[in-house]
Amino acid sequence: MLYKEQEIKIYNSLSGSKEIFKPINEGHVGMYVCGPTVYSNVHLGNVRTFMSFDMIFRYFKHLGYKVRYVRNITDAGHLENDADEGEDRIAKKARLEQIEPMEVVQMYTVDFHNTLNTFNFLPPSIEPTATGHIIEQIEIIKTILEKGLAYEVNGSVYFDVIKYNETNQYGKLSGRNIEDLIHNTRALDGQSDKKNPQDFALWKKAEPQHIMRWPSPWSDGFPGWHLECTAMSTKYLGENFDIHGGGMDLKFPHHECEIAQSEACYGPTPVNYWMHANMLIMNGKKMAKSTGNYILPNEIFTGENKNISKAFNPSVARFFMLQAHYRSILDFTNAGLLASEKGFNKLMEAMATLDKISVSEKTSGMDVQDWRANCYKAMNDDFNSPILIAELFGAVKFINQIKDQKASISEDDYKVLKTTLHDFIFDVLGLVDEDASGESTDKLSDAVEVLIKLRNEARANKDFALSDKIRDELASKGIQLKDGKDGTSFSTN
pLDDT of residue 438: 47
pLDDT band at 190 (very low <50, low <70, confident <90, very high): low
Q: Which percentage of the chain shows pLDDT scores above 90? A: 75
Residue with more model confidence, 427 or 76: 427
DSSP classification of residue 173:
T
Average of pLDDT values for 64-89? 84
The kind and range of the H/E element at 69 are: strand 66-71
Span between the terminal Cα atoms of the chain, in Å: 39
Using one digit for the tens of pLDDT, what is the confidence trace for 45-65?
999 999 999 999 999 999 999
b/e sequence 21-36, b meaning 16+ C-beta within 10 Å: bebeeeeebbbbbbbb
Q: What is the spatial distance between Cα 10 and Cα 311, in angstroms, rounded to a whole number? A: 35
Amino acid symbol at 71: R
pLDDT of residue 448: 85
Q: What is the spatial distance between Cα 427 and Cα 478, in angstroms, rounded to a whole number? A: 29
Q: Which residues pair with 487 in a beta bridge?
A: 484
Region class of 258: left (phi > 0), else alpha (psi between -120 and 50), else beta = alpha
Q: What is the spatial distance between Cα 10 and Cα 30, in angstroms, rounded to a whole number? A: 14
Q: Say if residue 124 is preceded by a cis peptide, omega within 30 of 0.
A: no
CB proximity list for 87: less than 8 A, separation 6 or greater: 79, 80, 95, 210
Q: What is the spatial distance between Cα 62 and Cα 54, in angstroms, rounded to a whole number? A: 12
The residue extents of the domains of the chain are: 22-277, 281-435, 437-492
Per-residue H/E/C for 459-491 = HHCCCHHHHHHHHHHHHHCCEEEEEECCEEEEE
Q: Check whether 272 has a pLDDT greater than 90.
A: yes
CB proximity list for 57: less than 8 A, separation 6 or greater: 31, 67, 69, 122, 124
CB proximity list for 119: less than 8 A, separation 6 or greater: 47, 51, 297, 314, 317, 318, 430
Q: What is the spatial distance between Cα 387 and Cα 379, in angstroms, rounded to a whole number? A: 8
User: Which of helix, strand or coil describes residue 130?
Assistant: coil
Check if the beta carbon of residue 156 is closer than 8 Å to that of residue 335.
no
- Measured between alpha carbons, how far is residue 349 from residues 343, 429, 435, 447, 477 in Å? 10, 17, 10, 21, 14
pLDDT of residue 33: 98
Give the other-Cβ count within 10 Å of 195's Cβ.
15
Q: What is the spatial distance between Cα 97 and Cα 322, in angstroms, rounded to a whole number? A: 36
Check if the beta carbon of residue 467 is closer than 8 Å to that of residue 458.
yes
Average of pLDDT values for 112-128? 97
Q: Which CATH class is domain 22-277?
A: alpha beta
How many residues are listed for the chain in this entry? 493
Using one digit for the tens of pLDDT, what is the confidence trace for 26-39?
999 999 999 999 99
Q: Check whether 189 has a pLDDT greater than 80.
A: no
Q: What is the spatial distance between Cα 89 and Cα 207, in angstroms, rounded to a whole number? A: 15
pLDDT of residue 187: 56
Q: Check whether 7 has a pLDDT greater than 60.
A: yes
Listed range (26-30, 182-186, 225-229) with the worst mean pLDDT: 182-186
Amino acid symbol at 236: Y
Alpha helices for 41-133 (secondary structure H):
44-62, 89-97, 101-118
pLDDT of residue 181: 78
Handedness of CA 427, 429, 435, 441 (dihedral sign): positive
Average of pLDDT values for 321-336? 97
Q: What is the spatial distance between Cα 103 and Cα 109, in angstroms, rounded to a whole number? A: 10
What would be the CATH architecture of the domain defined by 281-435?
Orthogonal Bundle (1.10)
Instruction: Indicate whether this model's pTM tops 0.85.
Output: yes
Region class of 238: left (phi > 0), else alpha (psi between -120 and 50), else beta = left
Average of pLDDT values for 354-358? 94
Using one digit for the tens of pLDDT, what is the confidence trace for 453-489?
888 888 888 888 888 888 888 877 778 888 876 678 7
Using one digit for the tens of pLDDT, what is the confidence trace for 404-438?
999 999 999 999 999 999 999 999 999 999 776 54
CA 52 to the chain's CA centroid: 5
Residue with more model confidence, 432 or 289: 432
Average of pLDDT values for 182-205? 79
Alpha helices for 14-88 (secondary structure H):
44-62
411-422 helix and 385-403 helix, angle to the nearest 10 degrees: 140
Give the other-Cβ count within 10 Å of 173's Cβ.
24
